[in-house]
Structures are given as structure tokens and as C-alpha cells.
Amino acid sequence: MKYSGWPEPGELVVGDVDEIADFGVFVDLDQYEDKRGLCHISEVASGWIKNVRDHVREGQTVVAKVLEVDESSNQIDLSIKDVNEHQRKETIQDWKNERKADNWMLIALGEDVDDDRYTGVANALLVEYESLYDAFEAAAISGDEALEDVDIDEEAADAIVAAARDNVSVPYVDVTGYVDLESPASDGVDDVKAALEAAEGNGEIPDGVELDVGYVGSPEYRIKVRAPDYKTAEHQLEAAAGRARESIESNGGTGGFHRERREDDE
């Protein structure tokens, strides 16, 4: 995503060397629309520089620190030498992540999405997350829950979650579902307790999977699963709900499963 504004002094930016002159280097800023900065020869590298081309080449991707911004003269002064190796690697990785997120946005919203639609959804995500990449990573991990506070329509939210889970590599994912458990028996509380214990798997949950069952408000109980991938998480969630329903029904009660929390429990 390219920003239409201006970078701030002190900000680290990524750009491509567009032109090399005797007095310095012009850099097209990748993250900002129609913005070009100048890195004076004294800011290209430490020490005396005989030939700028010994240090940079045209077309090279560089990380630079913004020294000054003069909007009235459309001038951005940059420094390449003030960026250490750690900063360079970290900034390049963030830049690569954002390029990935741009592609995921097009996958979610469609290659032919208009600029207003793209910008509206992107800006809404950036209200809640520091970057589009962070938003997609959260969506891959937690699904719809990650976008509950994001001001976008349901169609966009569903598309982002689907694109995230198809494309984002994450260490784990979280999924949540709810079971309604009721028993008319005099010892119905014990029947519900047994059903919840069954949902928890009685110690037989696979390695790498975390399963937590919690009380929401009678007769509703939350089942939350954390697993290495979405398919595993969904399978374990459905299996846990199935065990709870089977247990409560075997004792004459009723059980139901749903993905969203009931509105009257909000």
C-alpha cells in the first residue's frame, strides 16, 4: 500500500535508486506515492567518497533515514549511512511483509477492486493494527474475532479471513465455538459437568493442540482451540463439541453447537 502523504523526519523508508549524480543519489520512495528523495553524497557512506557509484547502483533497493522534509519545495533529504545493518534488515522485512499484504488484499477484495474500496478497507484495518500484514496475521490466527472491532462490512471481513488462512504462515491459529448444554434431570448439573469434561477430551488432546472450555452463561459454554493450522483447529473444535453433545444426550439432555455467541448474552 502506498501512502499519499509525506514521510516524517527520522522515519526509515525503502526506495529504489533512480538516478546517480556527482553530488548525490535520487531515491524513489516505494511506500509513498510520487515521492522522491535526495541523499547527498556526504550521506551515502561514511568517510570520503571519490565515486558515488562505488557505493550504490541505479535500480538498487536501499533503506534510508529521512533527515528533513520540505513540502513547499517538494524536497525530502535522506541519509543512507545513518542506517545500521540491523535497521536495514528489519525495515526491508517489514517492507516485504507489506508487499505480501498488498497482494493478499487483492486476493480478498479482487484484482479489479476500485481504489476507494481498497483504501477504505485498508484504512479501517490500520485503525486497529499497525500494518496490513499484522491485520492479516491476526485474521489467520483468530479468524473473525480478529476483525470484530474493524469497521468493515461482513463480506470484506469474510474475504480477508479466507485469504489470510490460505496465504499467511503463522505458528498457530485460534478458533472458537459455543455449545448449549441442558439437562432436565434432578442431577442435571452433574450431567453438564460430565459433558464439559468430555469436551475437554479427558486428557486425549493431540500434542500441539490446546483446548479450553469456559462458562459464558447458562446454558452456553465456550470452546476455544489453538492448533498449528486451521484444519486441525476446526477438526478439534468440532470433535470437542461432538463429545459434549453425545455426553449430554446420553443422559437425556440436549446439546447444540454454534459459532457465534448468542446476542442475548452480550
Could you give the CA distance from residue 78 to residue 8 in angstroms, rounded to a whole number? Answer: 11
Q: What is the pLDDT of residue 177?
A: 94
pLDDT digits (tens, 9 = 90+) for 96-119: 999 999 999 999 999 999 989 999
Closest CA to 76 of 27, 25, 38, 41: 38
pTM of the model: 0.68
Overall fold of domain 12-83: OB fold (Dihydrolipoamide Acetyltransferase, E2P) (2.40.50)
Q: All 3 cell numbers of residue 151?
A: 469497521
The rounded percent of the chain whose pLDDT value lies above 90 is: 80
Q: At what angle do helices 230-250 and 188-199 cross, to 10 degrees?
A: 160
Residue 262 confidence (pLDDT) above 90:
no
Residue 20 confidence (pLDDT) above 50:
yes
Q: Where are the domains of the chain?
A: 12-83, 87-167, 173-265
How confident is residue 263, by pLDDT bands cut at 50, 70 and 90?
Answer: low
Write out the chain in H/E/C secondary structure: CCECCCCCCCCEEEEEEEEEECCEEEEEECCECCCEEEEEHHHCCCCCCCCHHHCCCCCCEEEEEEEEEEHHHCEEEEECCCCCHHHHHHHHHHHHHHHHHHHHHHHHHCCCCCHHHHHHHHHHHHHHCCCHHHHHHHHHHHHHHHHCCCCCCHHHHHHHHHHHHHHCCCCCEEEEEEEEEECCCCCHHHHHHHHHHHHCCCCCCCCCCEEEEEEEECCEEEEEEEECCHHHHHHHHHHHHHHHHHHHHHCCCEEEEECCCCHHHC
Report the DSSP pairing between strands 75-79 and 61-70.
Answer: antiparallel
Q: What is the CATH number of domain 173-265?
A: 3.30.70.1130
Q: What is the pLDDT of residue 266?
A: 46
How confident is residue 217, by pLDDT bands cut at 50, 70 and 90?
Answer: confident
Overall average pLDDT of the 32-51 stretch: 93
Q: What is the pLDDT of residue 155?
A: 95
Q: What is the CATH number of domain 87-167?
A: 1.10.150
